[in-house]
């Protein structure tokens, strides 16, 4: 497919923010965006164009029935070099989300090369300071105007870019999590493993309750027994026992995180026993009381690693690692961010250097 490029004239370009560390996450967008359209069974009209509001029909299916999916990844820059972290995994996961939501597949080679052109055009927007990056948001929405519930015939795919600092306003500091026992995120057979927009709307009530109680994220339990840990808000979760590191298994209810996969790989590489298994809230509370649990952390593209300092469950609050950053959380954070911005060895070939891929 041909990619048309319509650059923003330089006199119309926005001021690039200098103090990215203090920007609210995802609140500023670059000058250009990528768009392509799907109709008549094919993707067409691929374009890099000025960032602009969308004109969609008020009957567009996405607005009524939530047929929409997205992804999240980051670009880093050191000097002239631009780095992406495992971008193909994001595009493959987007195609799996598309399959679950009866949406069309994208050509990941074409989308990746379009993204790389967009990043090259927006290079000056990629911040270079430690702890900053350019967040990339690929999105696909159903645009056919129709009030009947059915898969759309037409779609819009777009990519937005946003310079970001740390996801949590605390920065890389322990966060508090609130175990939801009134609400659930996803049941087996549902859409929990897809990055589909409705999952996040459905999470807002529990996260509002958590925020009112002073916690930044919700820890979800399984829908059937309300007993087994699932994941945290926009992150997967790891619990570090004295002899084993545990993360919940992929049973179709949680997002298969790329950071989760990277953490599991690093832990095994470093010689730890890292297990994907069911982990009940009782086992966690026992481990916290007995001291067998040394650390708990969340992991995802936005926050990378988020150490958990406090956990709230049914009117009781537990502290973890005296609310300090545990050594393993610190090591994983340093290693992952070091690999992502090209400053550390990349033994698993995770990093893609944009300007050198040809
Ligand atoms: C995106 C996301 C994650 C993290 O996935 P990464 O690929 O590591 O960014 C975890 N849980 C949910 C619900 C998510 O939406």
Look up the domain containing 260 and give its range.
Answer: 175-339
Chosen domain end from 135, 164, 193: 164
Residues 241 and 198 grouped into a single domain: yes
pLDDT of amino acid 358? 46
Let me know whether 236 and 196 are in one domain.
yes
CATH number for position 23: 3.30.470.10
pLDDT at position 313: 97
19 and 129 co-located in one domain: yes
Res. 284: pLDDT tops 60: yes
- Residue 223, pLDDT score: 97
Of 290, 167, 164, the closest CA to residue 232 belongs to: 167
Query: Is 126 found in the same domain as 34?
Result: yes
Q: What pLDDT, on a 0 to 100 scale, did the predictor assign at position 259? A: 98
Domain boundary among 164, 190, 214: 164
CA of 10 to the centre of ligand 1 (A): 36
Do 115 and 34 share a domain, yes or no?
A: yes
Is there a single domain that holds both residue 136 and residue 110?
Answer: yes
356 pLDDT above the threshold of 80: no
Residue 260 CA: nearest ligand 1 atom is: 8
* Measured distance between the N- and C-terminal CA atoms of the chain, rounded to whole angstroms: 18
Q: Does 37 score more than 70 pLDDT?
A: yes
Supply φ then ψ for residue 184, to 5 degrees: -125, 155
Q: What is the mean pLDDT of residues 111-132?
A: 96
- Tell me the mean pLDDT in the region 278-304: 97
Answer for the pair 298, 233: CB distance below 8 angstroms, yes or no. yes
For residue 109, the model assigns a pLDDT of: 97
**Residues 98, 62: one domain?**
yes
CATH of the domain at 203: 3.20.10.10
In a domain, 348, yes or no: no
pTM of the full predicted structure? 0.97
To the nearest 10°, the Cα dihedral for 338, 249, 201, 114? 50
pLDDT at 166: 84
pLDDT at 98: 98
46 vs 216 pLDDT, higher one: 46
Ligand 1 atom at shortest distance from the alpha carbon of 262? 8
Out of 25, 133, 235, 260, mutate this one to test ligand 1's pocket (max ligand atoms within 8 Å of CB): namely: 235
Whether 333 and 275 map to the same domain: the answer is: yes
* C-alpha span between 262 and 247 (Å, rounded): 13
Torsion 108-109-112-114 (CA) sign:
negative
Q: Report the separation in Å between the CA atom of 303 and the middle of ligand 1, taken as the mean of its atom positions.
A: 10
CA of residue 131 to ligand 1 center, whole Å: 19
Candidate from 72-86, 166-180, 233-247 with smallest mean pLDDT: 166-180
How many A from CA of 300 to the centre of ligand 1?
A: 5
Residues linked to residue 178 through DSSP beta bridges, in sequence order: 218, 312
* Residue among 223, 218, 215 at smallest CA distance from 187: 223
pLDDT above 70 (res 149): yes
pLDDT beyond 80 at 155: yes
Centre of ligand 1 to C-alpha 5, Å, is 31
> Closest residue (by CA) to atom 10 of ligand 1?
235
Q: Are residues 244 and 108 in the same domain?
A: no
pLDDT at residue 6 in the model: 98
CA 184 / ligand 1 centre spacing (Å): 17
- The per-residue pLDDT for 345 is 97
Mean pLDDT (whole number) for 105-122: 98
**Ligand 1 atom nearest to 299, measured from its CA:** 8
End position of a domain, from candidates 143, 164, 185: 164
The atom number, within ligand 1, closest to the CA of 90 reads 7
User: What residue's CA is closest to ligand 1, atom 1?
Assistant: 234
**170 pLDDT more than 90:** no
Residues 158, 182, single domain; the answer is no
Q: What are 193-217's pLDDT values in tens digits?
A: 999 999 999 999 999 999 999 999 9
Expressed in angstroms and rounded, the spacing between residue 2 Cα and the centre of ligand 1 is: 32
Q: Cβ < 6 Å from ligand 1: which residues? A: 72, 195, 231, 234-236, 255, 257-260, 300-301
Number of structural domains in the chain: 2
Residues 140 and 182 in one domain: no
- Side-chain-side CA neighbours of residue 178 (13 Å): 21
Q: Please, which pLDDT band fits residue 353 given cuts at 50, 70 and 90?
A: very high
Q: What is the pLDDT of residues 259-275, one digit of tens each?
A: 999 999 999 999 999 99
Cα(70)–Cα(37) distance, rounded to whole angstroms?
Answer: 15
Is 284 in the same domain as 146? no
Task: Decide if 45 contacts 308 (C-beta within 8 A).
Answer: no
Give the rounded percent of residues in the chain with a pLDDT score beyond 90: 94
Enclosing H/E stretch for 58: none
Q: Which residue's alpha carbon is nearest to atom 13 within ligand 1?
A: 234
């Amino acid at each position: 497919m041909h990619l048309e490029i319509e650059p923003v004239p330089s006199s119309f370009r926005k001021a690039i923010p200098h103090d990215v560390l203090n920007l609210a996450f995802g609140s500023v967008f670059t000058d250009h965006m990528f768009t392509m359209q799907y109709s008549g069974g094919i993707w067409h009209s691929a374009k890099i164009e000025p960032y602009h509001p969308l004109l969609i029909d008020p009957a567009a299916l996405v607005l009524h029935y939530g047929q929409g999916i997205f992804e999240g990844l980051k670009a880093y820059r050191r000097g002239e070099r631009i780095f992406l972290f495992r971008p193909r995994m994001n595009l493959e996961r987007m195609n799996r989300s598309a399959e679950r939501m009866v949406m069309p597949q994208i050509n990941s080679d074409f989308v990746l090369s379009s993204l790389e052109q967009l990043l090259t055009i927006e290079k000056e927007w990629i911040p270079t300071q430690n702890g900053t990056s350019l967040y990339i948001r690929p999105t696909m929405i159903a645009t056919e105007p129709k009030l009947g519930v059915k898969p759309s015939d037409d779609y819009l795919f777009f990519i937005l870019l946003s310079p970001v600092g740390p996801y949590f306003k605390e920065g890389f500091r322990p966060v508090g999590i609130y175990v939801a026992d009134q609400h659930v995120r996803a049941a087996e057979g549902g859409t929990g493993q897809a990055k589909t927009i409705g999952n996040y709307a459905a999470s807002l009530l529990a996260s509002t309750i958590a925020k009112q109680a002073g916690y930044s994220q919700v820890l979800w339990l399984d829908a059937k027994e309300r007993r087994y840990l699932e994941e945290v808000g926009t992150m997967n979760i790891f619990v570090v026992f004295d002899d084993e590191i545990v993360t919940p298994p992929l049973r179709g209810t949680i997002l298969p995180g790329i950071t989760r996969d990277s953490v599991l790989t690093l832990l095994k590489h470093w010689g730890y026993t890292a297990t994907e298994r069911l982990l009940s809230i009782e086992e966690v509370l026992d481990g916290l009381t007995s001291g067998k649990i040394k650390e708990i952390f969340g992991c995802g593209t936005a926050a990378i690693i988020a150490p958990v300092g406090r956990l709230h469950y049914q009117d009781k609050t537990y502290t973890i690692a005296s609310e300090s950053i545990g050594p393993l959380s610190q090591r994983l954070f340093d290693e992952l961010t070091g690999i992502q911005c090209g400053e550390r060895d990349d033994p698993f070939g995770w990093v893609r250097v944009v300007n050198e891929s040809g």
